[in-house]
Structure 1
């Protein structure tokens, strides 16, 4: 008899707790949508997953921060060609994205010094 009573209390308690958590979650989403935080967070997640950092690009091409644009292009050409001939299309695309990322960095730096 006591076991049945305890089981019923546990089931009722978990139902009440579940509804309370669901209500709190809905309220949090509602508040996030009102302030625009939800949209900003989603956009940041999308942006972060697609863009390559400068550090990652330098690691892929095997260059340092002090490398010239000519050195970047030499590394790019070498790695791109190696992966074009029986290599990996995935690696080839990573090399290309790394060059694009660094191209933007070098263009910005040249505008700042000019």
Structure 2
């Protein structure tokens, strides 16, 4: 949902502007990259396809978000690291454990 939000609600120019204000490095590149990782990675996780890769990409995304944006706001919501840490843990768990039983088939059995 955050990827859809960055593409269609805020738009990429708006997301780039927000990244600039937050001090994210190279916002012209990082904003579309983050939006793409969040949109495509989320869709891959929903489908159960390339789960480990998507989980790893989203975990790196959350590490960067925590380090660059949320850490200076402290622990608690709405802007702290509380919720981003949960997302990081979930993405890292999927990167390590994989999709489990409920996924699209990888090919012929």
* Shorter-chain TM-score tier: 0.3 to 0.5
Q: Scaled by the length of structure 2, what TM-score is found?
A: 0.35
Which protein has the larger Cα radius of gyration, Structure 1 or Structure 2? 1
Q: Scaled by the length of structure 1, what TM-score is found?
A: 0.34
Instruction: Write 1 or 2 for the structure with the bigger share of helix.
Output: 1
